[in-house]
Amino acid sequence: MSDWGPVFIAVLLFVLLTPGLLIQMPGKSRFVEFGNFQTSGVSILVHSIIYFALICIFLLAIGVHMYDATMADWGPILIGVVLFILLQPGLLFALPGNSKQVEFGHMKTNGKAIAVHTLIFFALYAILILAVHVHIYTG
């Protein structure tokens, strides 16, 4: 039986914490900007730290995915954080871009790119966690 808890939490956090969709910290002209569809390396770093903290809380402290309460599984957390960073629209690429089908490293995003990157995040995360069963246990 597959545990969809980590997948749901990781994808939800990916969408909510994508810089520029709901919030960007720091913003281009202010510390916090809302819905500006912009991003930057610093924003991705700040949002990644927040993502890491929240996914740790949900997957380790609350334990929404754990079958064995004596061992902590860091696999879903590390995979989620790495994918969160690499798939931020505008960092490495944006699919679709604002003016071309694919744009590389332009630090801008749009609603379609966030939706496409979220689907890519979901697919890769689900494959790695549910199909490949990547686990890193500490205990």
- Find the length of the chain: 139
Mean pLDDT to the nearest integer, 12-16 = 95
Q: What is the pLDDT of residue 47?
A: 97
Nearest residue to 19 (alpha-carbon basis) of 78, 77, 103, 85: 85
Q: What is the pLDDT of residue 137?
A: 76
| Residue 65 to residues 9, 35, 137, 139, Cα–Cα distance (Å) | 10, 31, 13, 15
d(CA 38, CA 19): 7
Residue 124 has pLDDT above 70, yes or no: yes
Q: What is the pLDDT of residue 62?
A: 82
- 19 vs 60: which has the higher pLDDT: 19
Residue 138 has pLDDT above 90, yes or no: no
86 confidence band (pLDDT: 50, 70, 90): very high
Written as six digits, the tokens of 2 are 């597959």
